[in-house]
């Protein structure tokens, strides 16, 4: 298996622009997670899906952030409009079990987002 796939790997944009991050989970994994990592705040869970349905979006920072999972093999995280404080590395992860379940989470390579 190719593992979790994310695109783009790097994104540089200007404040106010829309940004869309993409993720393909490992085939057969029912759970998909979006994380954000910064030096200041560490690794934060933004949202996770089970069988394409959003389960917990309490970590989504504000209405500018939205996530969708139209099918089992694709998810997007959108920021509109983007702000410099959104600059971070965004990871997608997938798993066979819920968070805190018996399976670990498998992380993608991440998207490094810079908002100027």
Q: Nearer to other proteins by C-beta: 80 or 104?
A: 104
Per CB under 8 A, does 99 bind other proteins? yes
Considering only 7, 56, 64, 73, the residue that binds other proteins (CB under 8 A) is 56
Contact 34, 20 (CB under 8 A): no
Q: Nearer to other proteins by C-beta: 65 or 91?
A: 91
Spatial separation of the C-alpha atoms in residues 15 and 102, rounded to whole Å:
40
The set of residues, in sequence order, having a beta carbon less than 8 Å from that of 77 and lying 6+ positions away, is 20, 21, 23, 34, 46, 47, 65, 66, 67, 90, 92
Per CB under 8 A, does 15 bind other proteins? no
Binding residues for other proteins, rule: CB under 8 A, are 42-43, 45, 56, 91, 93, 97-110
């Amino acid at each position: 298996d190719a593992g979790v796939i994310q695109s783009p790997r790097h994104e540089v944009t200007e404040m106010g622009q829309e940004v869309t991050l993409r993720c393909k989970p490992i085939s057969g994994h029912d759970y998909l997670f979006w994380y954000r990592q910064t030096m200041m705040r560490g690794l934060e869970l933004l949202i996770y899906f089970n069988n394409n349905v959003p389960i917990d979006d309490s970590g989504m920072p504000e209405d500018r952030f939205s996530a969708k999972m139209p099918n089992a093999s694709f998810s997007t995280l959108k920021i509109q409009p983007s702000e410099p404080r959104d600059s971070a590395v965004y990871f997608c992860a997938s798993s066979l079990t819920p968070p805190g379940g018996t399976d670990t989470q498998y992380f993608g390579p991440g998207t490094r987002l810079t908002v100027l």
